[in-house]
A and B are shown apart, each in its own frame.
Chain A
C-alpha cells in the first residue's frame, strides 16, 4: 500500500480564517479523495480530487467552501474556507492504488475552530 502523509497533523484556528491541508503520497496514484470525520461520527466523502481538472464534490459540499487542488499524481490540497466551529473535524485524504478497488487513508488532520 502507498505511504500517505498529511500536513498539518492538527491545528486550532479562529473562525473566519482558512486552512489548507496538504496530502502527499509516495507513489503516483490515479485517484485521491478527501473525507471529513466529525466528532463521534463516521467518515463522509467531501470530494474526489481529479488531476488536471476540477474536483468532483459530493452533495452538501461546494467548491467555494472546500477548494481542492491536484497539481500532479502524488499531491493534493484541501482548503477549509471561512471556517466556523461546525468545521471542527478530522479531515482525511485517501488514495486508491492502481489496479485495486481499495482505499488507503492518510493519518488525518485534526482541526478545531474556535
Chain B
C-alpha cells in the first residue's frame, strides 16, 4: 500500500464547478498535512496546510480526519487558473522530522 494515496483523476470540470479531492495516508504517526499545487513544468507550491479543525482559504477548504487517516480538499467556484496537479503531502515527526511524503497527485483541468 502506498504511504499517501490520491485519486489521480484527471478531473475535467467547467468553470464555476465545485470539485473535491480525497487522500488517504498509512502512517498513523504522521504529524503534518498539506496540499501543494504543481503547474506543468514548475515546482510544487504550497496551497495550504491542513488542520484537524479544518481550514478555509477563500474558495479552498481543507479537512483532516485523523481517525480515518483521510485528507480532503474542496475547491468552490473553479477558475481556469485552478488547472494544475494537486499534491497531497504528509509530514512525519519524531526521528523523521521534516520528511515529506507526496501522493502521486490529482490532475485538475477547468474548462470554459
Contact = CB atoms under 8 A, between A and B. Distances in A.
A103 interface: yes
Given A33-B98, A43-B102, A45-B100, A106 B32 contact: no
A58 B102 CA distance: 14
A101 B31 CA distance: 9
B80 interface: no
A108 B59 CA distance: 29
A105 B43 contact: yes
Interface residues of A, number: 22
11 contacts: A42-B87, A43-B102, A48-B98, A92-B43, A101-B31, A101-B91, A103-B100, A105-B45, A107-B43, A108-B43, A110-B41
A96 B103 CA distance: 19
Contacts of B101: 45
Given A42-B87, A42-B105, A102-B49, A48 B99 contact: yes
Interface in B96-112: 98-105
Interface of A: 1, 31, 33, 41-45, 48, 58, 92, 94, 96, 101-108, 110
Given A106-B43, A107-B42, A107-B43, A42 B32 contact: no
A14 B99 CA distance: 32
A31 B98 CA distance: 8
B44 interface: yes
B21 interface: no
A58 B74 CA distance: 32
B79 to A, nearest CB: 23
